[in-house]
Structure 1
Amino acid sequence: MRWIPGAGALALALMCHTAGATVKDATASGFTVENTEVVPVGADVAWKALVHDVDRWWPKDHSWWGTESTLSIDARAGGCFCENAGARQAQHMAVVFVDPGKTLRMTGGLGPLQGMGLSGALEFRLAPAEGGGTRITMFYRAGGYTPDDLSKFAPVVDKVQAQQLRGLADFLRKPAK
């Protein structure tokens, strides 16, 4: 599915399979979702993949221009989680907090939420996992004005974000070449 402005794109995302996804809370004006994956690498390796290899692990069917575009994260305050396809460009989120190897926080509306005038705070939290490796938590709290009941969008966004985080986890689980 390509991101298309409007709620219809969110409804199509319901078809995504998800494991370990959690809607923390949801009201008519906003929601919080959280997804966690454990990967068999240290936080430094996970961080490098998160910020430097986003174009290799982010599902291209959850970008504006699919395989035609390149995704990047400029991990510095004021940096951009951006997508570029020549003259077509999108700032998905703005980087607002960076603690390398621990926390990356960005603000903005992902996908159709951006076109709906909604915004949120997305955090990637990295911590040592019990038994080794790194626990990566993707936490997103979104809200704003819309005539729609945002609580209906929470399960859809949660499933899509679980897929996105699973992309990072699968990338980190592949043997190094």
Structure 2
Amino acid sequence: MRASVIVLFCLMALPCTAARAEVKEAAADHLLLQDSRTVRVAPDRLYAAIVDIGHWWSSDHTYSGDATHLSIQAEAGGCFCERWANQSVAHGRVLMAAPGHRLRLDTALGPLQAMAVQGVLTFTIKPAAGGATLQLDYLVNGASSSGLDKVAPGVNEVLMQQLQRLQRFAETGKAEAP
């Protein structure tokens, strides 16, 4: 009986924690990454967590080595920036801010920035039983010489790690895995 309860608990927890990320499309000149997951918080709280990027983004994927230097000014034209000492990086800008519903960024993340490609990252939030559904879409376009199909798996892996951290942060207040 106890083993059955443990198995049932694990199966119930699996859809909430398993990454369902997908490289939906990848070609030399574009890539599309998508993920959808249920997060056990209200839509407004999830949106607030997304905007509080310095608390969930991994310091390993910053220029300064410290994610607390990241910020998102959640209004159209606002900066998704990293500032430290006398240095700064504009990772992108806000295209759309609809609290509790959608945040869209114009951003070529990490090494994509140096490739002179265009990336649009959209977080869409919808109410769901027990919390909110978070849909992520990341569309990147560039020249055919960009070789985006070759970098798509790596970009997907890093972005999905960040989404796992976001989900943990939104649900528990801590981004690090227990």
Normalising by structure 2, report the TM-score. Answer: 0.82
Match of 2:152 in 1: 154
Could you tell me whether the CA contact under 8 Å between 1:24 and 1:32 is conserved in 2?
A: yes
Match of 1:168 in 2: 166
Match of 1:24 in 2: 24
After superposition, what is the alpha-carbon deviation per residue over 1:81-107, rounded to whole angstroms, capped at 9, x for unaligned?
101112110010110111111110111
After superposition, what is the alpha-carbon deviation per residue over 1:102-137, rounded to whole angstroms, capped at 9, x for unaligned?
1101112110000111121100111122x3211112
Q: Which ranges of structure 1 fall in alignment gaps of 5 or more residues?
A: 1-17
Q: Which moved more, 1:96-105 or 1:142-151?
A: 142-151
More helix, by proportion: 2
1:76 Cα shift? 0.5
Q: Which ranges of structure 2 fall in alignment gaps of 5 or more residues?
A: 1-17
Cα 1:174–1:93, aligned 2, differ >3 Å: closer, same or farther? same
Amino acid at match of 2:101: K
What CA distance in whole angstroms lies between the structure 2 residues aligned with 1:69 and 1:175?
15
What CA distance in whole angstroms lies between the structure 2 residues aligned with 1:35 and 1:83?
25
Match of 2:57 in 1: 58
Could you tell me whether the CA contact under 8 Å between 2:41 and 2:170 is conserved in 1?
A: yes
What CA distance in whole angstroms lies between the structure 1 residues aligned with 2:141 and 2:161?
21
After superposition, what is the alpha-carbon deviation per residue over 1:118-177, rounded to whole angstroms, capped at 9, x for unaligned?
121100111122x3211112210002126342111111111111111111101012169x
Could you tell me whether the CA contact under 8 Å between 1:29 and 1:151 is conserved in 2?
A: yes
Cα 1:100–1:56, aligned 2, differ >3 Å: closer, same or farther? same
What CA distance in whole angstroms lies between the structure 1 residues aligned with 2:98 and 2:67?
31
Moved over 6 A (4+): none
Greater relative CO, 1 or 2 (CA 8 Å, sep 6+): 1
Give the secondary structure class of the aligned counterpart of 1:96.
strand
Give the secondary structure class of the aligned counterpart of 1:66.
coil
Give the secondary structure class of the aligned counterpart of 2:155.
helix
Match of 1:138 in 2: 136
Normalising by structure 1, report the TM-score. Answer: 0.83
Do structure 1's residue 86 and structure 2's residue 89 form an aligned pair? no
Cα 1:66–1:27, aligned 2, differ >3 Å: closer, same or farther? same
- The alignment's C-alpha RMSD in Å is 1.8
What CA distance in whole angstroms lies between the structure 2 residues aligned with 1:153 and 1:175?
31
Query: Identity rate of aligned residues, in percent?
Result: 38
What CA distance in whole angstroms lies between the structure 2 residues aligned with 1:64 and 1:172?
24
Give the secondary structure class of the aligned counterpart of 2:66.
helix
Amino acid at match of 1:94: R
Aligned length: 157
Match of 1:124 in 2: 123
After superposition, what is the alpha-carbon deviation per residue over 1:3-32, rounded to whole angstroms, capped at 9, x for unaligned?
xxxxxxxxxxxxxxx831111111110110
1:37 Cα shift? 2.6
What CA distance in whole angstroms lies between the structure 1 residues aligned with 2:67 and 2:152?
29
Cα 1:40–1:68, aligned 2, differ >3 Å: closer, same or farther? closer
